[in-house]
């Protein structure tokens, strides 16, 4: 006896701002979306204490509270939000084809369209003190959280273009920025290096690594290790920004969807369309430039609209074929 699989018109994988916005639009379009939250319901914002740059919240809002609001709004229009991790996909290459999705290595469902909103995970150093103080002064997004350290002394870890850009951004609002670079040179482009070295309140320390983040409840300082001499030094800071890259959560799509050399999904033009019909990507999983909650939400809206239009063309073709 063959297994009966649930058929879903619009399946959303991931539950950050992109996923929930896609769910709101898809539900209002009667696509009856089903969302699987993944291992981190709410996405990266659940690790952020205060969000001051999401429109509509003049007094700011806690990251987890914002995600609860988005979930309630999506559910209000009929989205089914389910706890579960998509562990395998078998994507159809045919227009109008049905995509097979396995949840938690056990349950298979069928989807006419899929919106991928699995996001990207910030890379951290892996120190216990760093992990303990995430949200208490340790951040992976200077643009998101730098405002809270206005006029204070902070440090940033990294030597690439992103680190250089975020360091100069912080230097505009902070008293002093200490940039810790593990090697003896910056990997950033020459133009970004010029910006770094010409910023007066930005100090670059080469061959330097974080040995320990100091502080009990919030960041109070940093112990720095010189990896050439073995010498350690403590400095006083209130914020530590990690800018050593992000890893897109795209492992299960490898070999089926087009990606760039770092694993970000490639979408066509200004759309959210992937290389396979009926499969769309939104949020940080396809955006390594901006990585903001509001831009993720915008692409979530786009993905739902793209899915709705795709289904309309498929249904039109079926009607023509039936005549």
Give the active site residues: 141, 144-145
Based on the number of CB atoms within 10 Å of its own CB, is 306 exposed (0-12), middle (13-18) or buried (19 or more)? buried
Buried b (16+ CB within 10 A) or exposed e, 274-292: bebbbbbbbbbbbbbeebb
Instruction: Residue 8: name the closest of 118, 115, 84, 119 by CA.
Output: 115
Task: Classify residue 238 as left (phi > 0), alpha (psi -120 to 50) or beta.
Answer: alpha
Q: How far apart are CA 55 and CA 40, in angstroms?
A: 23
* Rounded CA separation 239/151 (Å): 11
Q: In what side-by-side order are the strands of the sheet with 221-226?
A: 208-214, 221-226, 232-235
State the CB neighbour count (10 A cutoff) for residue 126.
Answer: 7
The continuous run of DSSP H or E covering 120 comes out as strand 120-122
Cβ burial of 211 (10 Å; 0-12, 13-18, 19+) is middle
CA 176, 178, 179, 184 torsion: positive or negative? positive
- Cα 237 from chain centroid (whole Å): 26
């Amino acid at each position: 006896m063959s297994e009966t699989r649930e058929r879903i018109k619009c399946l959303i994988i991931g539950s950050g701002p992109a996923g929930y916005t896609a769910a709101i639009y898809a539900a209002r379009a009667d696509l009856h979306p089903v969302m699987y939250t993944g291992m981190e319901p709410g996405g990266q914002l659940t690790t952020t204490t205060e969000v001051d740059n999401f429109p509509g919240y003049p007094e700011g809002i806690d990251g987890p509270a914002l995600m609860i609001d988005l979930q309630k709004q999506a559910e209000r229009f009929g989205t089914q939000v389910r706890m579960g991790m998509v562990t395998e996909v078998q994507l159809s290459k045919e227009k109008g084809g049905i995509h097979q999705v396995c949840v938690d290595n056990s349950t298979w469902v069928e989807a006419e369209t899929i919106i991928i909103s699995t996001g990207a995970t910030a890379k951290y150093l892996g120190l216990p003190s760093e992990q303990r103080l995430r949200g208490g002064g340790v951040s992976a997004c200077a643009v998101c959280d730098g405002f809270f350290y206005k006029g204070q002394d902070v440090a940033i870890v990294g030597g690439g273009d992103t680190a250089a850009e975020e360091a100069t951004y912080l230097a505009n609002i902070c008293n002093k920025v200490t940039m810790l670079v593990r090697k003896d040179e910056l990997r950033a482009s020459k133009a970004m290096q010029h910006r770094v070295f010409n910023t007066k309140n930005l100090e670059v320390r080469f061959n330097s690594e974080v040995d320990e983040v100091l502080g009990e409840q919030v960041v109070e300082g940093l112990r720095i290790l010189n990896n050439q001499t073995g010498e350690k030094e403590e400095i006083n800071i209130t914020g530590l920004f990690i800018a050593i890259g992000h890893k897109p959560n795209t492992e299960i799509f490898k070999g089926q969807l087009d990606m760039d050399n770092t694993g970000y999904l490639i979408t066509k033009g200004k759309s959210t369309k992937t290389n396979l019909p009926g499969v769309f990507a939104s949020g940080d999983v396809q955006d390594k430039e901006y990585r903001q909650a509001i831009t993720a939400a915008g692409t979530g809206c786009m993905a739902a609209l793209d899915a709705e239009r795709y289904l309309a063309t498929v249904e039109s073709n079926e009607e023509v074929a039936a005549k």
